[in-house]
Each structure stands twice: as C-alpha cells, then as structure tokens.
Structure 1
Amino acid sequence: MAGSKSVVLAALVANGAIAVLKFLAFLLTGSPSMLSETYHSISDTGNQVFLLIGIRYSGKAPSRAHPFGYGKAQFFYSFLVSVLLFGIAGWESLKHGVEAIRSGHAASPGTVTLAGVTFDTVYVSVAVLLGAIAFETYAFVKANAELRRQMEAYGWANLVEAFRSTSDVTTLTAFTEDAIALGGAALALVGIVLTRVTGNHIYDAVAAALIGLLLMGFALALAWENKRLLLGESAPKELEADFQSIMRDHPGVTHVDRFRTMFVGPKGILVAADVSFDPELVTDDIDADISRIEEKLRARDDRVRFVYVEPEL
C-alpha cells in the first residue's frame, strides 16, 4: 500500500506542475496539441486525487456492513479514473484535434519576452514539453519500480502478465497514465516542431487528435481491467493450483472438494474450500489442521486475508 501511495503522490506533483506549464504555453501559442496536452494533464491531476481517495478509503477496518473490508474501493476509484480519462481528456482532445484539422488552425507564430530576452513562442512550447517529459519520466520510473517489485514478488514474467494478473489497480493506473503522458508529450512535440518547420498546420492538429485517441484507447483498457476485479475475479489459475496443492498435501487431508477464491481488495484474497479430512481425526485435530493450512496459504501469498475451510468427514 505504501508503494502505491508514493507512486500516486509522485504522479500528482508531476501532473499538477505540468498542467500549469502546458496551459501557459497554450495561451502563448494557441497550439491545438498543447491544448490537448493541457486537458490531459488536468485530467491526470484530478485522477491522482481520486486514486488517493481510493487508497485512504480502502484502508478502513472491516465493519458489519462490509465484513471483508473496503479494499474494493480502490477498484471503484480506479474505474472512475478510467472513465474520466476517456470522457474528459480523451474525447475533448480528439474533438479539438478534429476541429483543428477541419479549420486549419495551428499554433500562432510570435515572440515572447522573458527577463529582457525575446524568444520565438515555439521554443516556449518545446521547453514546456521537454520539462513535461522530464517530470513524467520521474513519475514513470517510480511507478515502474513498484510494478517491477510486484512482478518479482509474484513471479509475473512480463508487463503483459502483470497487467492481466495484478490486483493493485492503483499502481497499474498510475503506470499506464505516466506511459500515456510520455507518449502524448512526444506526439505534441513532434507535431508542433513539424508544423513550425513546414508551415503546415496539419501536423499540430493531427497530433492533438492522436493524443485523444491514445487516451481513449488506454482508458478503455483500464476500465476493462478494473471491471474484472469489481465483478469479483478469482486469483490466477497458477496461484489457485498452489493453494489447492497446499491443502491436498497437508497431513490428514484426503480430498479438496469445492474450492473458490476472490479478490476483495488490492492486498486481499478470500479463499473458501470444502476439505475432506481423515475420518479418524478428532475435532481438536481438525481445528489445528485448519489453522496450519491457513498459515501455509498466507506464507505462499501475503495477499491471503480470509480463509474459510469447511471440514468434510
């Protein structure tokens, strides 16, 4: 949880600073792609706030109304982030880019004087975007380090497997946002420079539209990943197989009957099973065996929080 929070805080600081700089650059240049990037960074900043709310809310202790805790709050707020990323930043960026393509609007050439030195406004945009890339790289490195740590801890072979298997949607969302932000800043930089060099508005306008499509595509992917967890996804097959093997191999267990798992939070797995025990075991022995099985399951994966074993004789 601490790793996820530090990732989100890093992204919040970076996106907040970048949003201000991009908006100032848009006011000076009128660049369509710079406006798209402003929408992007404002949306990202708001998204980090939602993720922090999710982290805080999910830390509440279990209650009568929520006996398995509030861990799924992170799934909900991450889903909300993906919807906002699609609805606000993605759609507005795409719409503005298409309008710029149709109208022929592009960044207005001009100059700006700072500290007695006069600059071409295109250099202002370039400087802001290079600064944005630096900020986003810092946030991305933080998110990537946390995701890599999880990959090593849980044995995921690559980013694709991590994307499909992780229950830490907060880190996943921050990682994805930072990656999109880097891609969007690079697109805007290329579009603005090409328009300035060639005098053709189309590059700046198309860059704005592409940024919108990029945001919308990744937002849909994030929404899909959050949906699986909101609906109560089970643990990965390989992990379930390990859990069942631990139960079957425990002395006194003759068979594992019905077996179920479900994520109840980023760091919470529910395990429930009907287990057949040796009929010669007495009640006290069965209770001790169930306790030892719980310990073994938690030793296998530290996300195991709730274990319910129904003994069958």
Structure 2
Amino acid sequence: MASSKSVVIAAFIANAVIAVLKFLGFLLTGSAAMLSEVYHSISDTGNQVFLLFGIRYSEREPTQKHPFGYGKAQFFYSFLVAVFLFGIAGWESLSHGIHVFTHPAPVQPSTETLFGYRFPSHWVNYGVLLGAIAFESYALKTAYAGLTQQMQEHDWETIAEAFRKTSDVTTLTAFTEDTIAIAGAGIALAGVYLTRVTGNPRYDAAASIGIGILLMGFSLALAWENKRLLLGESLPPEDERPLRELITSVDGVHHVDDLRTVFFGPEQLLVAANVSFEKTLDTELIDERAATIETTLIHHEDQIKRVYIEPEV
C-alpha cells in the first residue's frame, strides 16, 4: 500500500506541474494539440486525487456493515477515473481536434517577449512538451518500479501477465497513465512541429484527434480491468491449482471438494474451500487440520488474508 501511495504522489506532482505549463503554452500559441494535452494533464492530475482518496478510504478498519473492510474502494475510484476523467478528457480532445481539422485557420507566425528577449512562440510548445516528457518519465520510472516489485513477488514474467493478474489497480493505473502521457506528449510534439514546418494546421488538429482516441481507448481498457475486480474475480486456474495441492498435502485431508477465491481489496485475497477429511478424524483433529490449512495457505501466498474451511466427512 505504501508503494502504491508513493507512485500516486510522484505522478500527482509531475502532472500538476505539467498541466500548468501546458496551459501557459496553449495561451501563448492557441495550439489544438496543446489544448488536448491540457485536458490530458488535468485528467491525469484529477486521476491522482481520486486514487489517493481511494487509498485513504480503503485503509478504514472493517465494520459490522463492511466486515471485509473497504479495500474495494480503490477499484471503485479507479473505475471513476476511467469513466469520468479519461472518458471526458478524451472526448473533449477528440471533438476539439475534429472541429479544428474541419475548420482550419491559417497559421500565423508570431513571437513572444520574455525578460526582454523575443523568440518564436512555437518554441514555447516545444519546451513545454519536452519538459512534460521529462517529468512523466520520472513518474513512469516510479510506477514501473512498483509494478516490477509486484512481478518479482508473484513470479509474473511479463508486464502483460501483470496487467491480467494484478489486483493493485492503483499502481496499474499510474503506470498506464504515465506511459500514455509520454505517448500523448510525443504526438502533440509531432503535430506542432509538422504544422510549423508545413504551415498546415491540420497536422496540429490530427494530433489532437490522436490524443483523444488514445485517452478514450485507455478509458475503456482501465474500466474493463476494474470491472473484473469490482465483480469479484477469482485467481486464474493455474494459480488456484497450487492452493489445492497445498490443502491436499495436509495430513488427514482426503479431497478438496470445492475451492473459491476472490479479491476483496488490492493484494487482499479470500480463500474458501470445502474439504473432505478422513473418516477416522474426530472433531478436534478436524479443527486442528483446518487451522493447519489456514496457516499453510497464508504462509504460501502473501495476498491471502482470510481463509474459510468447510469440513466434509
């Protein structure tokens, strides 16, 4: 949890600074791609606020009304990020880009004055976007370190596998967001440069459209990832198989009749199993074996926080 929070805080600082710089760049140049990047960075900054609130909310102690705690709050707020922030920002970028593309205005060369020096205004965009890439690279490095730590803990071989299996949607969201932020800044940089070189404003508008599609695509992907956890996804069969083997390895266990797993928060897994014990065991021994199963499972997998064993004879 501490790792997730540091990832989000690093991304929040980077995105807040970048949003201000991009807005200043837009005011000076009127670039459609820069306005799209302003929407992008504002959504990124709001994203971090939502994620930090989700982390804080999920740390509340379990209550009678919520006996398994509030861990799923992170899934919910990450879902809101996808639907409201990235979806809206993506649509605004796309619609603005389409408007500029269909109603292009001539590119007028202009200069700005700063501290007595005059310089071409398009250099403002170059500087802001290159600075954005630098800041986002720092945030991405922090998010990648958090994701790599999870991969090492769970023996995941690729980032794609981590995306399919992780329950830490906070780190997942930050990593994906930072990656797309760098891609968006690169697209905007290309659009601004081509418009300046060719004098055709449609390159700038096309960059805005591309950024909008990128944001909306990420919105759908993130919403889908959170849907599986909000609905109570279990571990993949290949990860449940070792748990079955551990249970059957306990002395006195005859068979595992049923095994169910579900995440009730990031890195918080519940395991429930119907276990058939040998007929020779009395009630006291069955209770001891059930306690052994619980200890064995928790020691085997750090994500397992609760174990329920239903004895069958």
Map 1:99-178 → 2, pairs under 5 A: 99-105=99-105, 108-178=108-178
Q: Give the aligned residue type for 1:3.
A: S
1:216 and 2:249 are equivalent in the alignment: no
Kept in 2: contact 1:71–1:267 (CA 8 A): no
Structure 1 residue 224: Cα displacement: 0.4
Q: 1:304 maps to which residue? A: 304
Q: Give the aligned residue type for 2:65.
A: A
Kept in 2: contact 1:32–1:107 (CA 8 A): no
Structure 1 residue 105: Cα displacement: 3.5
Q: 2:66 maps to which residue? A: 66
Kept in 1: contact 2:83–2:223 (CA 8 A): yes
Q: Give the aligned residue type for 1:47.
A: N
Distance 1:41 1:150 in 2: 27
Map 1:155-304 → 2, pairs under 5 A: 155-304=155-304
Distance 2:5 2:124 in 1: 33
Listed one character per residue, the Cα deviations across residues 47-72 of structure 1 (whole Å, up to 9, x for unaligned) are 10000000011111111011111110
SS in 2 for 1:233: coil
Kept in 2: contact 1:85–1:216 (CA 8 A): no
Distance 1:281 1:99 in 2: 76
- How many residues in Structure 1 have an aligned counterpart in Structure 2? 313
SS in 1 for 2:167: coil
Q: Give the aligned residue type for 1:28.
A: L
Gapped runs of 5+ residues in structure 1? none
Structure 1 residue 106: Cα displacement: 6.8
Gapped runs of 5+ residues in structure 2? none
Kept in 1: contact 2:107–2:200 (CA 8 A): no
SS in 2 for 1:271: strand
Distance 1:4 1:255 in 2: 39
Distance 2:177 2:133 in 1: 13
TM-score (norm 1): 0.98
Kept in 1: contact 2:106–2:199 (CA 8 A): no
Listed one character per residue, the Cα deviations across residues 236-290 of structure 1 (whole Å, up to 9, x for unaligned) are 2222111111101111100001211101011211110110111212222222211
Distance 2:40 2:179 in 1: 12
Q: Give the aligned residue type for 2:268.
A: G
Kept in 2: contact 1:29–1:108 (CA 8 A): no
Against the structure 1 CA distance between its residues 250 and 201, is the aligned structure 2 distance closer, same or farther, given a 3 Å change threshold?
same
Listed one character per residue, the Cα deviations across residues 213-253 of structure 1 (whole Å, up to 9, x for unaligned) are 00001110010010000000001222211111110111110
Kept in 2: contact 1:93–1:211 (CA 8 A): yes
Q: Give the aligned residue type for 1:230.
A: L
Distance 2:146 2:108 in 1: 42
Distance 1:258 1:311 in 2: 11
Q: 2:32 maps to which residue? A: 32
Q: 1:81 maps to which residue? A: 81
Q: 1:12 maps to which residue? A: 12
Kept in 2: contact 1:32–1:105 (CA 8 A): no
Kept in 2: contact 1:191–1:205 (CA 8 A): yes
Structure 1 residue 93: Cα displacement: 0.3
Distance 1:106 1:82 in 2: 36
Q: 1:93 maps to which residue? A: 93
Listed one character per residue, the Cα deviations across residues 283-306 of structure 1 (whole Å, up to 9, x for unaligned) are 222222111211111112111111
Map 1:50-61 → 2, pairs under 5 A: 50-61=50-61
Distance 1:19 1:108 in 2: 25
Deviates more, 1:81-90 or 1:118-127: 81-90
Kept in 2: contact 1:194–1:204 (CA 8 A): yes
Distance 2:105 2:245 in 1: 64
Percent identity (aligned): 61
